[in-house]
Structure 1
Amino acid sequence: MFYSPYYGLGPGMIFLIPAIIFAMYAQMKVRSTFNKYLSIQNTRGYTGAQVARMLLDRNGMHHIPIEYIGGHLSDHYDPRKKVLRLSQSVYNGTSIASISVAAHEVGHAIQDNVGYIPLALRNTIAPIASFGSQAVWLLVFAGLILGIGSLIDIGILFYLAAVIFQVITLPVEFNASSRAIEQLQINGLITSIEVAPSKKVLNAAALTYVAAMAVSIAQLLRLMLLRNRRD
C-alpha cells in the first residue's frame, strides 16, 4: 500500500504531528517574545548595527562588514563571505530585542574567528544536509513506486545528514547566545536589569532550533517506518 509522505495518516504521523505542533508553538513564541521586547528601548540607546560594530571591533574583527538585509528575523552571519547581515528591525532598532539579536550574530562571528569546532562541523555538513533534505522524498517516492528499497535507503542516509545538521546546530546556537550575553555585559552595553529580557529573547529564538531538530528526527523515524512497511 502506498502512503503519501505529506498527506493522510501514513506511518510515522504519530511522531510527526506533535513535532509540527511544537514547531508552530516555537515560531509563535519567538515572534511574540521578539515583538514584546522590540517595543522596549535599551538603556544606552544604541542600534543593533552600532552594537554589532562595537562588538566586532572589540574582538578584533574590523574586517567583517555589516549589511542590511530584508525580511523579518532574517538576521545571520555568513561564515563563507565573512559578513554579518541584519534585518531592518535589528539594524536600525534601538530595542533590547534588536541589540540582543545583533549580539547573537556577532557570537557566531566570534565562533568562526576562534575556530569553534561545532560551527566548523556544521558548515562542513551544510551542503550535504541541504541536498539531503531536498532529495529525500524524490528518492523515497522512486523507491516506493519502482519497488527498489535501496533508493529509499539512500534517501534515508541523505536525510540523516540533515538530522545531524540540526543536532549540531543546537550547541552552536546556545553557545552564540551565551557569547552574546557575555559580550553585552562586559562591554557595558546592557544594564543588569536588561540581562533577563535579553536572555528571554535569545532563549525564545533557540526554541525554534530545538523544534526544528524535533521535526527532523520525527521525519527520520517516519521514513524508517515507511521503509519497513514497504518490506
Structure 2
Amino acid sequence: MFYYYYDGTYLLVVIGALLSLMASAKVKSSFARYSNVRSMSGMTGREAAERILRNSGIYDVQVQHIYGNLTDHYDPRNKVLSLSDSVYNSNSVAAIGVAAHECGHAIQHAKGYAPLSIRGALVPVANFGSTISWPLILMGLLIRSNASMLFINLGILAFSFAVLFQIVTLPVEFNASRRAVRILGETGMLGPDELRGTRKVLSAAALTYVAGAAAGILQLLRLLIIGGRRND
C-alpha cells in the first residue's frame, strides 16, 4: 500500500529542505562565532551603518532598531535600514558585517542598481504567485474535467514567478556583500583579520539565498513532472 502512494518526486522536496536547513545552520553558527569577536574600532552596527551611509553621500536613509534575530533588512520603499537586536548595539565583527551588507542595499538603491530594481518590481507578482499557485494546482488535481490542466499550468506559471524572484535575489545579495567587504576594508573600519571573519559570516548568509533558490527550482521541477504526468 505504501508503494502505491509513493511519489519519487518527493525526493526533490526533501533535497531542497535539507539544503535550506544546512544553510540556515551554517549562517547561525558563523554569526554566533563572530558575534563574540569584538571589533578593534569598537563601533556598533548602528554606528558603522551611519558612517557608511554618510561616506557614500546618502543622507536620506534612516537607521532604526528592529526586534528579532537576523531580521536585518533595507526597505527601499521608505528608505529605512533596520538592524536587529544582535546587530544594532553590538560592536562585534559579525554585527558590523551585517550592517555594512544592508548598507550595500541602500547604496544599490541610490545608484539605481538594475537587479535591485527588477527584484522590487517582482515583489507583488512573486507574492501573488506564491499565494495563488498551490490552490490552483490542487484545484487542477482534484477536478475531473478538461479544465484541470489549465488550472495546473496556471499554478505552475504563478509559482515560477516566485522562483524567478529568488533567482534575481542572488546577484542582489552577492553584490551587497561585495560592496560591504570593500567599504569596510577601504575605510579601515575592520582590519584584515576582522574582514576574514566578516567574509565568512556574509558568505554563510549568501548560502541561505542559494539554498532557497535551489529549493524553489527543485519544487518547480517537481510540479512540472506532476503536470506532465497528468497531461499524459
Q: Tell whether the structures are fold-level matches, with TM greater than 0.5.
A: yes
Question: Any residues of structure 2 matched to 1:1-231 within 5 Å, and which?
Answer: 9-147=6-144, 148-231=148-231
Aligned-residue offset at 1:10: 3.1
Aligned-residue offset at 1:211: 0.3
Which portions of structure 1, spanning 4 or more consecutive aligned residues, are displaced by more than 4 angstroms?
Answer: none
Aligned-residue offset at 1:14: 2.3
Percent identity for Structure 1 against Structure 2: 44
Aligned-residue offset at 1:222: 1.0
Aligned-residue offset at 1:11: 4.8
Aligned-residue offset at 1:225: 1.4
TM-score of the aligned structures, taking structure 1 as reference length: 0.94
Any idea what the Cα deviations from partners look like across 1:3-34, whole Å, max 9, x if unmatched? xxxxx743522222112111100000000000
Q: In structure 2, how many angstroms separate the alpha carbons of the residues matched to 1:111 and 1:11?
A: 42
5+ residue gaps, structure 2: none
Q: What amino acid sits opposite 1:72 in the alignment?
A: N
Q: What amino acid sits opposite 2:118 in the alignment?
A: L
Whether contact under 8 Å (1:97, 1:201) holds in the other structure is yes
Aligned residues: 224
Q: What amino acid sits opposite 1:51 in the alignment?
A: A
Is 168-177 or 144-153 further displaced after alignment? 144-153
Whether contact under 8 Å (1:43, 1:190) holds in the other structure is yes
TM-score of the aligned structures, taking structure 2 as reference length: 0.94
Equivalent residue for 1:4?
none
5+ residue gaps, structure 1: 1-7
Whether contact under 8 Å (1:11, 1:222) holds in the other structure is no
Q: In structure 1, how many angstroms separate the alpha carbons of the residues matched to 2:197 and 2:176?
A: 17
